[in-house]
Chain A
């Protein structure tokens, strides 16, 4: 098998996200809800046990954080909001309504904003759906991970394989038009056959959007530690790559475009909020472990709920910040933009920033194109479709090439043959 067949530019150009979707993703707001009913075996997100007292403390701290951050965002209109976690769907209707009110009270949300909430299938019930809809939530991202009972158990999920279907039906009945499913592959016990069956069940639910993540063993999680201790075996990288190829082909055949490494959408259903990250647009962030990028500063809130809440209560700093440089900005634009199906596009960035990118990466892009690591895109470059599962190699390669300040007359990419150049100059 030739591992990397030449990619098909026609299909690639349809991968999106569309110009309209990219333009609409102007400014995002992320809200982290750090509670889960039960901890899954693979998860390293900031999340803890749910209790009324904890939620009260969370909401109080959230009031402090919104008050602290709101002045920075005065005048800014957010085109997307994302309630992530943790499990936002684990909050009661009353608690969620209070959280949403806090956010809306402090920040200006566009009327047509995309407002997403991460929901676990087992928690999707009518009263909650009503509360979410009332708060303006118009998109649900449902963590299914798998439709295989054995796999669900291994992952420590508390819902069964039928539950996502029921949740979908209920959500549709409540008028939710934009539903997304999260799937996982390449974890211990998973294989191509099981993934194929999971995909069948997922597609049968007719979601507008799908995310499919290759499992990463995280140290400190029960499953991750077992993998790292080699108590359980991870599928080989070849198997994972085969699974990725298979799922991409299946989803594309079903009418989904792989618009980002791990994300697939029907036309117009791209996750606007996530585009904010990949296009490096400003985003505000609230809650423990939430990360934002605002006015040239990246900030990351304290990871642990306790520390985050305590620092807000003590009127102390609740985050770590890093001021961007022209260079870190260019590096991020490249590393994030090349995840997209459409690749890097000049029109996605202010002219001066794009000029920075070209200054640093222009020669590297040329070399990448010459080597077939990149292919030309609309007004920029992208990773050929067949290389998407090895994209980091090219990104690191570009960064290394960009670091090389000067090139000798022979260049660093030497094509052609060794017809002996006069090797020894006269002594």
Chain B
């Protein structure tokens, strides 16, 4: 039973498949509750990172506090957390849910239930949250709200007629939804008088304040001046500021049980205030820590190297700053013969990798080369030694290897029935092991496969979209390692192995891979001074070759008095192009070539 003092608090997340309108719905809720002055409103106002705005997607969860006088006349404190929809960021959703009692499950009326609708619903249910359904985008011509309602009923057992139909765009039905949220989602159930326990569900780094821990106070009360302890490290700090989250931090005298807000306590490194940790009073003892989070495991690894080798230090510093706000990114130094000094980085997926690279480029002005993405292999050597290999160039020589295990995922694809055949064929081509098939209602199927992660990280999603005309959606989670007959495929440019281009592929696919990769590299490596032989090899055996002919003409015919300045400017331009290439032996290799593996059509 909830403490009566918490009766007027509601904490909820908005969850959905990507693009179903979560952030737009958040906009309307902010408007109805007059949380932001009208001049501060803009579409998806909570997506405040440049990249989020540009890509039109949410990357990080955003929490914001609102106040609302309901039709009943009661004045509520609401905490809304908008979450990302992309599968790479599922862990953001589960952390956000941990701060809430309820979730609004938004379903696009023109798309129906998709893979992340389901996975996010399951996450919410696992954590015991109350789910309120909402069918969004009913203003669209192609909306099929009744179908969507039936799908929701099938999956969540919420009666179809109980699910509100809204338009986050026009605001239709949103106020009713808010009333329903208040009516159905329970208030928090903490004890304001018990010893302090607060869950850190996210953290960020602020230039002036240091680490800002985003917390859900479960029991007790926290205020500036309190001495607190982080239970996992045992370290003690003094609270300097607490408050609620608005677009900016909004200080309050205290936070009490049931509330979501932030805590600043002079913590300098995010490692000391880890997400998932419990904050307690410094004097407390025998307190049971709150359940934290499963640690997120990076799925994809790639080497990041500055194009200009003198930017190594800047890259190191920049990565250090990025992890302050992105705990899922990991990195450690590595060297490459081809590329010099850089960092091996682990990412949640390709989108995450792209975002990190893009942020390094924009926010820190570092031009990067990223090496071929790889998953993490477990390699058992004949000697009995076990090695973990996430960098293909580190794969031990084939004759020393007893067994290679590769990571698998359990993947679920949601699709209209008519594309099932295509999709199953695709999964089989990708070495998938069929797990099961069920229908959500007669037209929509959910098919499960165990798939090698290596087969899906690169281009599976795009292929899936193309064989289903964009209708299928994918969700997956790590599902252990299994043995695989993997070989290391090397790429040689003019006879020299380029370690940064090596990949680990299944033996049955090595030949087609090699040929496709050479062809793609030929497209990506421009004609240059010298002819370039592009070869693929397994061990010492060449399995594919392409030749890029030498450039024949690049000269200014006339260069007299008046031409000199003009020519110098032209050369400056050519020079800039060259600076974005990496010299490897006799060959100048452009940035994009290192990601050729992503561009091979399979």
Contact = CB atoms under 8 A, between A and B. Distances in A.
25 contacts: A3-B531, A237-B552, A240-B553, A244-B553, A371-B586, A372-B530, A372-B586, A390-B551, A390-B552, A391-B555, A392-B570, A394-B529, A396-B575, A404-B308, A408-B309, A412-B583, A414-B585, A416-B496, A418-B338, A420-B337, A420-B394, A422-B335, A423-B393, A423-B394, A424-B332
Complex A-B, nearest 10 residue pairs according to Cβ-Cβ distance, in ascending order: A396-B574, A241-B552, A400-B578, A291-B562, A291-B561, A237-B553, A399-B575, A408-B309, A213-B557, A3-B550
Contact of A274 (B391, B560, B572): B560
Contacts of B126: none
Contacts of A4: 529-531, 550
A418 B549 contact: no
Given A291-B565, A339-B559, A400-B575, A417 B332 contact: no
A205 interface: no
Given A391-B554, A396-B571, A408-B340, A425 B310 contact: no
A291 B564 contact: yes
Contacts of A406: 309-310
A403 B579 CA distance: 9
Interface in B327-343: 332-338, 340-341
A238 B585 CA distance: 26
Contacts of A407: 309
A393 B552 contact: no
Contacts of B557: 213-216, 261-262
Given A298-B565, A425-B332, A417 B551 contact: no
A350 interface: no
B558 interface: yes
B554 A328 contact: no
A286 to B, nearest CB: 11
Given A261-B555, A392-B571, 13 more contacts: A213-B558, A241-B553, A291-B561, A328-B568, A389-B552, A390-B529, A392-B554, A396-B577, A404-B579, A407-B309, A422-B335, A423-B335, A423-B391
B584 interface: yes
Name the residue among B557, B570, B574, B586 with the largest chain A CB count within 10 angstroms: B557
A395 B571 contact: yes
Interface string A168-192: 0000000000000000000000000
B394 A393 contact: no
A149 interface: no
B335 A421 contact: yes
A399 B572 contact: yes
Contact of A420 (B393, B559, B575, B585): B393
Contact of B562 (A289, A328, A423): A289
B567 interface: yes
A392 B574 contact: yes
A165 to B, nearest CB: 25
A336 B585 contact: no
Given A216-B557, A400-B578, A400-B579, A238 B552 contact: yes
A412 B305 CA distance: 13
B560 A392 contact: no
Contacts of B348: none
Contacts of A357: none
Contact of B571 (A237, A371, A373, A399): A399
B181 interface: no
Given A390-B554, A395-B571, A423-B394, A290 B561 contact: yes
A3 B312 CA distance: 38
A404 B308 CA distance: 7
B390 to A, nearest CB: 9
Interface of A: 2-4, 30, 213-216, 237-238, 240-241, 244, 261-262, 274, 277-278, 283, 285, 289-293, 298, 300, 322, 328, 331-332, 335-336, 339, 371-373, 387-397, 399-400, 403-408, 410, 412-425, 427
Contacts of B583: 412-414
Contacts of B340: 408, 410, 412, 414
B496 A417 contact: yes
A332 B567 CA distance: 9
Nearest to B549: A3
Contacts of B555: 214, 261, 388-392
Contact of B338 (A371, A414, A425): A414
A258 B497 CA distance: 39
Contacts of A418: 337-338, 393, 496-499
A85 to B, nearest CB: 12
B562 to A, nearest CB: 4
Q: Which of A30, A336, A400, A405 has most chain B Cβ within 10 Å? A: A400
Contacts of A417: 337, 496-497
Contacts of A262: 557-558
A184 B306 CA distance: 45
Interface residues of B, number: 57
Given A395-B571, A406-B309, A420-B394, A292 B561 contact: yes
Contacts of B572: 399
Interface in B530-556: 530-531, 549-556
B35 interface: no
B497 A423 contact: no
B528 interface: yes
A421 B564 CA distance: 45
B344 interface: yes
Contacts of B553: 214, 237, 240-241, 244, 389-390
B466 to A, nearest CB: 34
Given A328-B568, A420-B393, A414 B530 contact: no
B342 to A, nearest CB: 10
B565 A300 contact: yes
Contacts of A399: 571-572, 575, 578
B535 to A, nearest CB: 14
Contacts of A372: 530, 586
A419 B393 CA distance: 9
A2 B554 CA distance: 18
A407 B311 CA distance: 10
B569 to A, nearest CB: 11
B586 A404 contact: no
Contacts of B586: 371-372
B373 to A, nearest CB: 16
Interface string B64-82: 0000000000000000000
A387 B571 contact: no
Interface string B561-602: 110110110111011111100011110100000000000000
A333 to B, nearest CB: 11
A240 to B, nearest CB: 6
A389 B391 CA distance: 41
Contacts of B499: 418, 420
Contacts of B560: 274, 277
B552 A3 contact: yes
Contacts of A3: 531, 549-550, 552
A393 B551 contact: yes
A241 B570 CA distance: 20
Interface string B334-362: 11111011001000000000000000000
Nearest to B531: A3
A222 B114 CA distance: 59
B510 to A, nearest CB: 19
Contacts of B567: 335
Nearest to A4: B550
Nearest to B495: A417
- A4, A213, A291, A424: residue with the most chain B Cβ atoms closer than 10 Å: A424
Contacts of A395: 571
A258 to B, nearest CB: 12
A300 B571 CA distance: 19
A30 B310 CA distance: 45
Contacts of B338: 414, 418
Contacts of B341: 408, 410
A298 B336 CA distance: 45
A129 to B, nearest CB: 25
